[in-house]
Amino acid sequence: MPLSKPMTFCAIMSAALLVSCSTADSPSNDTAIEEQRADMKPKTDLSYGPHERNTLDLYVPADVTDPPLLVFIHGGQWRRDDKDRLDRFGRIDALMKAGIAVATINMRYSTDAIWPAQLEDVRAAARFLREQAADYGYTTDQIAYWGESSGAHLALMAGLSGAPEFGLSEGGPIAPTAAIVAWFAPSDLTQIAADREADNVPGGNEEFGQPTPENRLIGEPVADNLAKARAASPVDIVQTAPPNAPIPPILLAHGTQDPVVSPLQSDRLKKVVEARFSGAEITLRKVDGASHGSEEFADEIEPAIAFLLRHFKAGG
């Protein structure tokens, strides 16, 4: 039978954490979750801007009162792939079970427009989602971001730029950032090629011709405009932030055998955050043996959701 009345997010969160600590879900819990998911009707291809790629899909868990909102950003070298990447590794099921609403967004490719168009699109989507919260039944007191690869780069840039202290909030206010999950993120565009050469991961620069993804993103070779590449890099945003800038909690995950985005990229971001903001929370989970988005990341879904739940509760 369907649940008799809506559950609060806190109740869902408590149940989710209890389930994650048990060895297996009971059949009755599985049935209840399946009934909740059957009632969940996603809103697809909602338009948040004028470009054909300014669309998003929205999933809101059934029978949860005011769930918090996560924005998911797909990867693809800033020039390919799609918002349907959200459903890898059973992520939609896991988020609905945890009581978290999620919007998965498309943004302009670097072949459509160069940087900072992609960040502008993510911020436009966040503003749209905040304006539509009452209509679709979630809360945007805070927003969390989760991205993979180039989408992780955008999640970091959007999550950091939400605070006015960073001076990157053109276009109007968006909700404060609850947390950022960034999987195998390019964090320093000026060092992507050099890091692939410097690490001990087999394969690297030879996989990319010219222009490289980062060159396409900024519209010219990185070496010809280091200032623009730095301005588009999460590492530089943190390095140049004023000392009072709020750094949201960040969870990084990176495969130790990633030949595309070197693990050194996440190592560097973690070191820079810790050096500049000693009280900031930043965790790096190194996924042993994993390549770029390989199947080993299926085991990273549960820790990522637990991280989000903890910080949504802290900010709620």
Distances, alpha carbon 63 to alpha carbons 2, 132, 194, 220, in Å: 9, 18, 49, 49
Peptide bond into 42 cis (omega under 30): no
Q: How far apart are CA 248 and CA 238, in angstroms?
A: 11
**Helix 9-21 vs helix 91-98: crossing angle, to nearest 10:** 120
Residue 22's pLDDT is 42
3-state secondary structure of 9: helix
- What pLDDT is attached to residue 23? 38
In angstroms, the CA 9 to CA 66 distance is 7
d(CA 230, CA 253): 22
- pLDDT at position 32 is 52
Q: What is the CA radius of gyration of the chain?
A: 19
Closest by CA to 251, choosing from 195, 177, 201, is 177
pLDDT digit string, tens, across residues 119-157? 999 999 999 999 999 999 999 999 999 999 999 999 999
Look up the pTM and report it: 0.88
Residue 229, phi-psi category: left (phi > 0), alpha (psi -120 to 50), beta (remainder)? alpha
- pLDDT tens digits for range 220-258: 999 999 999 999 999 999 999 988 889 999 999 999 999
Assigned token pair, 130: 């905040």
Please, what are the domains in the chain?
Answer: 7-315 (3.40.50.1820)
Q: What is the pLDDT of residue 198?
A: 92
- φ, ψ dihedrals at 41, nearest 5°: -110, 110
The pLDDT, as a whole number, for residue 3 is 37
- In tens digits, the chain (316 residues) has pLDDT values of 333 345 555 555 554 444 444 434 444 455 554 554 445 679 999 999 999 999 999 999 998 999 999 999 999 999 999 999 999 999 999 999 999 999 999 999 999 999 999 999 999 999 999 999 999 999 999 999 999 999 999 999 999 987 666 665 566 668 899 999 999 999 999 999 999 999 999 876 555 677 899 999 999 999 999 999 999 999 999 999 988 889 999 999 999 999 999 999 999 999 999 999 999 999 999 999 999 999 999 999 999 999 999 999 876 5
Residue 243: which of 284, 212, 207, 276 has the closest Cα? 276
Q: What does DSSP assign to residue 53? A: T
Q: What's residue 19's pLDDT? A: 41
Q: Determine the Cα–Cα distance for residues 176 and 4; give it in Å rounded to an integer.
A: 33
As beta bridge partners, residue 92 has: none
* Cα–Cα distance for residue pair 125/122, rounded to 1 Å: 5
Residue type, 263: P
Residue found by looking up tokens 């939609």 in the block: 92
C-alpha–C-alpha distance, residues 59 and 259, integer Å: 33
The string of DSSP letters for 80-104 reads S--GGGGGGGGHHHHHHHHT-EEEE
Q: Which amino acid is at 280?
A: A
Confidence at residue 78, expressed as pLDDT on a 0 to 100 scale: 98
Instruction: State the residue for tokens 């539509």.
Output: 132
CB atoms within 10 A of CB 50: 7
